[in-house]
Amino acid sequence: MDQVNKENNIDIQFLPLSETAVLVEFGKSISPEINSKVKSLGEYLERNSFPGMIEYVSAFSSVTVFYNPLVVMKNCKQAIGLKYSMAHQIVTGILKEAVGKLGSSFKSNPKVVEIPVCYGGEFGPDLPYVAEQNKLNIDEVIEIHSSGEYLVYMIGFAPGFPYLGGMSERIAAPRRQSPRTAIPARSVGIAGMQTGIYPITTPGGWQLIGSTPVELFRPTEDPPSLLQAGDIVRFRPISLKEYEKLREGKQ
For 198-222, how does the pLDDT look when each residue is reduced to its tens digit (9 = 90+)?
999 999 999 999 999 999 999 999 8
**Cβ–Cβ under 8 Å, residues 231 and 112:** yes
Specify the pLDDT at position 169: 96
Residue 245, H or E segment: helix 240-248
Per-residue pLDDT band at 5 (split at 50, 70, 90): very low
For the whole model, what pTM was predicted? 0.75
Q: CA angle 129-200-216, nearest 5°?
A: 95
For 23-71, how does the pLDDT look when each residue is reduced to its tens digit (9 = 90+)?
999 988 888 888 888 888 988 998 999 999 999 988 888 999 999 999 9
